[in-house]
Amino acid sequence: MRRLAAGAAVVAILVSACTGTAASPSAAATAAPTTAASGAPSTPASQAASTAPSQAAASMAPCGTVNIADNAWVGYEADVAVVAYLLKNQLGCTVNIKNISEQVSWQGFPTGEVDVILENWGHEDLAAKYITTDKTAVDLGSQGNVGIIGLFMPKYYLDTHPDLVAAQGKDPKTVAAALNAVAADFKTSESGDKGQILDGDPSYVTNDEGLVAGLGLNYKVVYSGSEAASDTAIKAAVDAQKPIFAYYWEPNWFDSQINNAMVQFKLTPYTPGCDKNPKNLTCDYPPYNLNKVASTKFVNSGSPAVTLIKNFKWTNDDQNAVATDISLNKMSDDDAAKKWLDAHPDVWKAWLAGTGWTGS
């Protein structure tokens, strides 16, 4: 797994997208869970310090401290912003936000370094270990978002390639032949004589290298290093009406910034077990009904925070609205959360049902 050095990544990819090339990342590592007293470094106003308890907190069981994993994409940050704001300002909790990757977040359950993951994208192997076998974690149910991961290209490109449209969803041989026929359109300086598949942060859930191998694609996976770097490259390509083939997902606040230009190229449909060998794949990504996962110790703590997090459930549009305010409108996490909460009182008050909260 590799990650770009921050400053060079965005500039290089922006230049590359405009010229038909994309920069590749150099190096990356996944850090162990560490406590952060504030939210993501890019949004310093997302503070994780405790605030004074609300007027209702005196009638509830003590909330205590809640350690929330914050994974590296803005949609997840929106989840954290809203939940953390309520925990601090309505339940009187101390909130620690921990900026760590998806997989490493699970390692914090048995140690107590992580109490909750608010947006889990599958990870069946980790669920089997920590939930089923070790019983150090508990599935807290759906958080409402419906997730899609896949390979996307601009609609304007797909619309001019009827053979690609016709191949979508067909057998692996047909899909591979159609993609290989246009591989030259996606060549960059980083992919050499192959077409490029632009992936993002290498810590994300990705099957793309396995798909290249399994389908025999004449493509090379190139990692941008981050969500922001990928978004920069995609926007540059869309603005210039150039072809780009990229790992992308929904819900994604960035859709509105590119006029929903990116559409999924559908591979052979997913069936249970078709992704058993991640190094050799011929089927698409599975659908994801995103869920919350918490440590068993936290769930059994008696904290009202557990009930709030169990009840937390919103839509793709809800998440995108908060993520847009954070990323595009440059609002602090707290300000973006408050804006959304002020507009949806009936939703968040229902999340507090059963906590002992009696505020207004």
314-347 tens-digit pLDDT: 999 999 999 999 998 999 999 999 999 999 999 9
* pLDDT for the residue 124: 87
287-313 tens-digit pLDDT: 888 999 999 999 999 999 999 999 999
77-130 tens-digit pLDDT: 999 999 999 999 999 999 999 999 888 999 999 999 999 999 998 888 899 999
Q: Quick check: 28 pLDDT over 60?
A: no
* pLDDT for the residue 59: 57
Residue 206 vs residue 8, higher pLDDT:
206
Among 258, 308, 278, 259, CA closest to 87: 308
User: Cα(274)–Cα(206) distance, rounded to whole angstroms?
Assistant: 15
Is 31-122+292-360's fold the same as 147-265's? yes
Least confidently predicted of 23-37, 63-77, 229-243? 23-37
In the numeric block, the tokens 């994208």 are attached to 121
* pLDDT for the residue 153: 97
* pLDDT for the residue 318: 96
40-62 tens-digit pLDDT: 333 333 333 333 334 444 457 89
* pLDDT for the residue 358: 87
Least confidently predicted of 24-28, 81-85, 154-158, 339-343? 24-28
DSSP readout, 150-184? EEEEEHHHHTT-HHHHHHTTS-HHHHHHHHHHTGG
* pLDDT for the residue 117: 97
Residue 205 vs residue 178, higher pLDDT:
178
Task: Enumerate the domain spans of the chain.
Answer: 31-122+292-360, 147-265
Homologous superfamily in CATH for domain 147-265: Glycine betaine-binding periplasmic protein; domain 2 (3.40.190.100)
In the numeric block, the tokens 């559409």 are attached to 263
Query: Average pLDDT over the chain, rounded to whole?
Result: 85
* pLDDT for the residue 41: 31
Q: Quick check: 281 pLDDT over 90?
A: yes
CB neighbourhood size of 118 (10 A)? 27
Beta bridge partners of 221: 197
* pLDDT for the residue 3: 30
pTM (whole model) above 0.95? no
Residue 203's pLDDT band, with cuts at 50, 70 and 90, is confident
Average pLDDT over residues 242-259: 92
* pLDDT for the residue 14: 35
User: Cα(29)–Cα(97) distance, rounded to whole angstroms?
Assistant: 20
Residue 327 vs residue 181, higher pLDDT:
181
CB neighbourhood size of 350 (10 A)? 13
Residue 38's pLDDT band, with cuts at 50, 70 and 90, is very low
Share of the chain above pLDDT 70, in %: 83
Q: Quick check: 158 pLDDT over 70?
A: yes
* pLDDT for the residue 274: 94
User: Cα(163)–Cα(295) distance, rounded to whole angstroms?
Assistant: 49
User: What architecture is domain 31-122+292-360?
Assistant: 3-Layer(aba) Sandwich (3.40)
